Amino acid sequence: MSQESLVNITPRKARPVTASSHFGTCNHAHAPIIAVREGVDSEDALVCAVAALKAAYETNAMALEKAGEPLRNLLTATENSLEKGLALAEAVLEGMEQG
């Protein structure tokens, strides 16, 4: 069997990309000043999302160290939500990298 016959020539489907989304409207007081651009590779976008979640987790952890009750309970709930979101995003990213 030749080496050429082992090559998979099935065309690969294009990976998903982002749709346009915006934020930074100050509760809709003005037009958005920041946006997610459409057409960004989904894996690249997910890497950015993981970085943002990690930064939010660290910021929340620093606030948790300094906070007293009842704010501490709210920050603990936020920590839990950030952990879930980060674990999910990292698992999706890892699955994408594994193919």
Residue type, 34: I
Residues 6+ apart with CB under 8 A from 24: 32, 33, 34
Are 75 and 64 in contact, with CB atoms under 8 Å apart? yes
Q: What is the pLDDT of residue 42?
A: 93
Side-chain-side CA neighbours of residue 58 (13 Å): 6
pLDDT single digits (tens) 71-95: 999 999 999 999 999 999 999 999 9
CA separation for the pair 57, 80 (Å, rounded)? 9
Enclosing domain of residue 81: 14-98
Residue 3 within any structural domain of the chain: no
pLDDT single digits (tens) 10-64: 666 788 999 999 988 888 899 999 999 999 999 999 999 999 999 999 999 999 9
Q: What is the pLDDT of residue 11?
A: 64
Residue 2 within any structural domain of the chain: no
Residue 7 within any structural domain of the chain: no
Overall domain count for the chain: 1
Residue 6 within any structural domain of the chain: no
Q: Is the pLDDT of residue 67 over 70?
A: yes
Q: Is the pLDDT of residue 4 over 90?
A: no
* Whole-prediction pTM: 0.77
Residue 9 within any structural domain of the chain: no
> How many angstroms separate the most distant Cα atoms in the chain?
71
Residue 5 within any structural domain of the chain: no
